[in-house]
Structure 1
């Protein structure tokens, strides 16, 4: 799951100097004052308003400035979806603004407070809520994802160390994971969050593994079964907490971002219970530089509901006493190239599926892919592959 994090322009009420007199409605400030505040915020970033560079913001609606100041990143993303502003290179815009320091300051105080209250009192990723993201995003339409992704249907970061294109990068990622797990013919492999079956197919076809894949998306499960037909692969529509059995190897690629901090310990307890004593587990996940529990409200509403990025500390604490960390690799910079390749595919093939969607969906995906690419370019978020064992005797050497 590419999770993206579009923390860009707005600041808190106190930073804006807003008073009860200025916060009187959905458009909080007079347009001229709001524009001055935004101009001051982005000054020196290389991004200008109505400039000529491809990363400049071209404002098309007079209420754009006040909306962004009042609604933060949610307002910024929604305004783009509604055509209130244009930018040819959203990725470069996001990168330059983040590099300029408009990261943590980009959320309003009400955004932060709301999520803290919600995540503090409720388990937003409980079993009862586990299928929400599948229905909202992954079930959007296989025709869309087939055109945006490469033939492997990997919806996670590719490995570009020697790759010349997206397909090579995704095959390299799948093979890297299989080699890190030392998969041998006949091994029973569990794929937690199997997506459209990319790793399950790869491990079964090229390594002779017997694979069980689980997903919370009906559309993913249907296509994964078709792709893996004739192979020793079983695809289940199931939550990871309900799994039973014993597996030689376990892999989870791009799923941990949906687990949620209240469930991290349960997740690792489940993996420990399912993993053979001499087994290996590889976790592939986007990671946060901070242990603060927060989400971008636009991403949370439109792309990955209830998603949250783990930190190094979150993973270490949840796995401590359960599994032994054998290897930790970061290739987050490769997600920038992956996202840009997805965007190029999306743009090139949109005309083939435009009749099935509306222009709001097109703009939503372009914005999502662009801001996420910018965040990875800035190293604001990371991509980790972590290998765990149960601490059996012997040396582990991770391939690269």
Structure 2
């Protein structure tokens, strides 16, 4: 992991708000974090105004001042592990954060026209960039690490687990909602002899995916999920539901229901949170995943009511910590290739994104769930699969 430069002397508190400095120091102390401390998870001030901006804007202020180079930390993942275990977000309440959550509560931020924003801002960032960070199949979702020696094996473990949970058989037609660069579809077509159709809102993903899957019975469509109507033997969705938004959960599940064959299975793989809320973290919303929203188990369960039977629910969110730390290391190793193009502020932004998320999964503040769903009345007993055979 890249080490941050700690050779700078901590910036003194000059004419700024000393009360804000003292208040932030007190809050951080409750998470065993020190301002200008020397431990790997302590926050080192390098410029003025950080306490004021953090107290005024919460994590948006914390993330933006980090991007601005006003503070640093040797291990951001350890910092966020401690902040989230101490429930720091509930202690720092700001008007900007409240406004962000009110907008998410009252407005549908994931309408069909708005759905394309995350594709343009995040997924169209550049195929070469993602290829450098991800595994050889370009799988941008949580890996399954048990028995794996490296990221490539851990991602194939996950893909094989999905195939087994779905009971794939040669000749089946599988829909992948939010197919990315086609890592699952390519794997399933090659290893299990199925035909796949994928939809994505990223032009970059679709273009590269078609190249990677050339010669296989795999089709990519650049479209929103709401336009789907064809029937499929199986449906899979890996890491896309986080972009749906709770105002659209019923619509999403209705689309999946009409597209799933009567005896089919639907596997939904999604990050989720422990308690209800509206919208995602304000910093994540502004800089990483616009309009995102993490569901709860209750929200997904409610959307399944009268539509699906829940055959299985599996949580392996702790594996996302290692996945993100591995992506971070690969990102740092590859950074010299992208530094001139993307700039140092992006470097700090992306580091903050990967390591703050790793800390969140380590603290078990967020989870990773795989749901297996079926139509009511489907014949037979679903046999649970917990690891690739």
TM-score, normalized by the shorter chain, greater than 0.5: yes
Match of 1:346 among 331, 346, 361: 331
RMSD, aligned CA: 1.3
Greater RCO (CA < 8 Å, at least 6 residues apart): 1
Deviating more after overlay: 81-90 vs 249-258: 81-90
Using the TM superposition, give the Cα deviation of residue 108 of structure 1 relative to its aligned residue in structure 2, in angstroms. Answer: 1.6
Using the TM superposition, give the Cα deviation of residue 122 of structure 1 relative to its aligned residue in structure 2, in angstroms. Answer: 2.4
Distance in 2 of aligned mates of 1:372 and 1:104: 18
Query: Partner of 2:20 in structure 1?
Result: 34
Moved over 6 A (4+): none
After superposition, residues 1-400 of structure 1 pair within 5 angstroms as 30-116=16-102, 118-391=103-376, 392-400=378-386
Distance in 2 of aligned mates of 1:287 and 1:107: 22
Using the TM superposition, give the Cα deviation of residue 162 of structure 1 relative to its aligned residue in structure 2, in angstroms. Answer: 1.8
The alignment's TM-score, normalised by the length of structure 2, stands at: 0.93
Distance in 1 of aligned mates of 2:325 and 2:200: 26
Deviations 1:40-93 (A, max 9, x none): 101142321112112111101111111111121111101111111111210000
The answer to whether the 8 A contact 1:73-1:107 is kept is no
The alignment's TM-score, normalised by the length of structure 1, stands at: 0.91
Using the TM superposition, give the Cα deviation of residue 103 of structure 1 relative to its aligned residue in structure 2, in angstroms. Answer: 3.4
- List gaps (5 residues or longer) in structure 1: 1-28
What is the DSSP-based 3-state SS (H/G/I as helix, E as strand, rest coil) of the residue aligned with 1:222?
Answer: helix
- List gaps (5 residues or longer) in structure 2: 1-14
The answer to whether the 8 A contact 1:192-1:255 is kept is yes
Using the TM superposition, give the Cα deviation of residue 132 of structure 1 relative to its aligned residue in structure 2, in angstroms. Answer: 0.4
Deviations 1:360-386 (A, max 9, x none): 111111000111000100000000000
The answer to whether the 8 A contact 1:134-1:217 is kept is yes
Count how many residue pairs are aligned between Structure 1 and Structure 2.
371
Distance in 1 of aligned mates of 2:180 and 2:362: 25
